Amino acid sequence: MTPVRTPTRRAVIAGMIGAGASFAMPAATVRAASRPPQFGSIRHQFTLVQGARPVPPVAIPALAGGALDLTAFKGKLVLVNFWATWCAACRTELPMLDRLAASGRSDFKVVAVSTDRNRALVAPYVKQFKLRHLAIGFDPGGLVSRVDAAEVDTPFALYGMPISFLIGVTGQVEGYMTGEADWLSADANALFDYYAGGRR
């Protein structure tokens, strides 16, 4: 028969410290997992929006006819890109966004809104760059976007051009990215997967 040994005080304390450390690890992991993955370019980072308001129900004139209502996409992840024909970075980013729109994700929508004052410039531009999958809208009068967001009740402040806003499944703006970004990268996909799950 093997004798039963009574643990020493030092062994008990060491065991308690070890147990506490093992419980602390999952908590730290959960906290880290609650943050969205990092996404950015050389110049800019995806910026989180704190206390964002829901997207307003505004009918944005569409290139294909009719109107785009961003609130109609609630339950899906929506990437809204504001661009212009005079914007050099947009020439690189728009074809990338078009490929993203063609990716086939059922939980995802990509909308590209032109801020050009001359609407006649947009259709030839779209044809030139063979943008076939993007939902194209017009906002020359600042229906949903403004350079000075204080002038109008909108979550879309144009801090730069191009600029993209990510709307979560709850219909609120989660964050934005100023400047051209690689929306086809693994980092971008990780960001989309995070918000597609409805996490904030």
Task: Tell me the whole-structure pTM to 2 decimals.
Answer: 0.77
Q: Tokens 């024909």 — which residue?
A: 85
Measured between alpha carbons, how far is 107 from 166 in angstroms, rounded to an integer?
Answer: 13
pLDDT in tens, 92-126: 999 999 999 998 888 899 999 999 999 899 999 99
Position 36 confidence tier, pLDDT thresholds 50, 70, 90: confident
Q: Where are the alpha helices (DSSP H) in the chain?
A: 9-33, 88-101, 122-128, 186-196
> Is the CATH code 1.10.10.60 the one for domain 42-197?
no
CB-based contacts of 126: which residues, under 8 Å, 6+ apart? 63, 134, 136
Q: Tokens 């728009």 — which residue?
A: 94
